[in-house]
């Protein structure tokens, strides 16, 4: 039987204006975004719709904004009867996946990722950490490069797709690793515009603080298996999901492995739910043929995805 996965985007997919069309056309979307504003104590909705972009890009704002924009899109798919056999989310997107899988309430998830963003911002002093995307180099070779760095700590942070891996760590170490990667055949090294070395040892203070926040939240067993960033394995157990969300802060995002696991499990339809098409692009790099990859963000793309999905089931 053909299976479906909902994929939820992570930080970097945000843009000014996201979610506005659904807010104006759907009473459910309006209610959810209004609830997010109330829970957070500031107008996330205004920031999502009107910016400024620099403020929206700040980790503490981008994370709840992306979660909210993703969940209102998922709710519209759900209303049309579109269901999934699995959920997965890239880094922050794992919280959106947890909501869609029934593990977390929307309100708890919005608050948690706002706190997560703040903790990640505070973990490393500005300018001390960095991240860079390394294009055209395989995982094992890049891992050897990071181990040979002498100017500090640098690790593989996001294993996104073949030939697309993000490294993270001390600023000088990331720069040294980038230069060494180029010398060893990497096609391109792209420094990322981020506020810290996410998914690295440097995030240990954020991980510890987040554990305290998640301990105060009710987790329930997943109704739909959630594929963990940390293990690339489907999980239903609530305690396991909670511990992996904590672990995820300092662990690499095994996105390529997660998508391969879903394909192995018989998943052929992948619906990216929320802003942008980053995950759709990665999916096409992971496997080019035999899959139906769609993006569902606004009324038009949600209707199109629902129609296509119903035609396949």
Residue 253's DSSP bridge partners are: 158
Residue scoring higher pLDDT (114 or 312): 114
Question: What is the residue-averaged pLDDT of the chain?
Answer: 97
pLDDT at 313: 64
pTM strictly above 0.85: yes
Q: How far apart are CA 179 and CA 173, in angstroms?
A: 10
Q: How far apart are CA 232 and CA 238, in angstroms?
A: 16
What mean pLDDT is predicted for residues 6-24? Answer: 97
Per-residue pLDDT reduced to its tens digit, 219-249: 999 999 999 999 999 999 999 999 999 999 9
- DSSP of the chain: --EEEEEE--TT---TTTTHHHHHH-HHHHHHHHHHHHHHTS-HHHHHHH--HHHHHSHHHHHHHHHHHHHHHHHHHHHTT---SEEEESTTHHHHHHHHTTSS-HHHHHHHHHHHHHHHHHHS-TTTEEEEEEES--HHHHHHHHHT--SS-EEEEEEEETTEEEEEEEHHHHHHHHHHHHHTT-SEEEE---SS-TTSGGGHHHHHHHHHHHHTS-----SS-EE-TTTSSEE--HHHHHHHHHHTTTS-B-HHHHHHHHHHTTEEEEEEESS-SHHHHHHHHH--SS-EEEEE-SHHHHHHHHHHHHHH-
CB 258 within 8 A of CB 229: yes
Structural domains of the chain ordered from first start: 3-123+202-312 (3.40.366.10), 129-194 (3.30.70.250)
Positions marked catalytic: 91, 199
Between the alpha carbon of residue 302 and those of residues 13, 77, 275, 296, the distances in Å are: 17, 6, 12, 5
Q: How far apart are CA 128 and CA 138, in angstroms?
A: 27
Assess whether pLDDT exceeds 90 at residue 312.
Answer: no
Per-residue pLDDT reduced to its tens digit, 151-199: 999 999 999 999 999 999 999 999 999 999 999 999 999 999 888 999 9
């Amino acid at each position: 039987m053909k299976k479906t996965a909902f994929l939820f985007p992570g930080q970097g997919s945000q843009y000014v204006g996201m979610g506005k069309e659904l807010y104006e056309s759907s009473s459910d979307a309006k209610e959810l975004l209004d609830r997010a504003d109330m829970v957070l104590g500031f107008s996330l909705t205004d920031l999502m719709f009107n910016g400024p972009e620099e403020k929206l890009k700040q980790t503490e704002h981008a994370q709840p904004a992306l979660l909210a924009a993703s969940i209102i899109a998922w709710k519209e798919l759900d209303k049309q009867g579109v269901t999934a056999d699995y959920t997965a989310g890239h880094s922050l997107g794992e919280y959106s996946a947890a909501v869609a899988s029934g593990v977390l309430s929307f309100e708890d998830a919005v608050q948690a990722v706002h706190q997560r963003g703040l903790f990640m911002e505070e973990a490393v002093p500005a300018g001390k950490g960095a991240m860079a995307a390394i294009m055209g180099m395989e995982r094992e070779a890049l891992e050897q490069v990071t181990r040979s760095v002498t100017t500090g700590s640098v690790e593989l942070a996001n294993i996104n797709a073949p030939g697309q891996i993000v490294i993270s760590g001390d600023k000088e170490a990331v720069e040294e690793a980038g230069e060494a990667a180029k010398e060893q055949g990497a096609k391109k090294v792209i420094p990322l515009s981020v506020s810290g070395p996410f998914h690295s040892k440097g995030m240990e203070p954020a991980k510890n603080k987040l554990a305290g926040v998640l301990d105060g939240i009710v987790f329930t067993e997943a109704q739909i298996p959630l594929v963990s960033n940390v293990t690339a394995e489907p999980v239903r157990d609530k305690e396991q999901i909670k511990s992996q969300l904590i672990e995820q802060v300092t662990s690499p995002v095994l996105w390529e492995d997660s998508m391969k696991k879903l394909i192995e499990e018989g998943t052929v339809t992948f619906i990216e739910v929320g802003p942008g098409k980053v995950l759709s692009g990665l999916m096409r790099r992971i496997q080019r043929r035999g899959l139906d990859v769609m993006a569902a963000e606004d009324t038009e793309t949600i209707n199109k995805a629902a129609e296509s999905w119903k035609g396949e089931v």
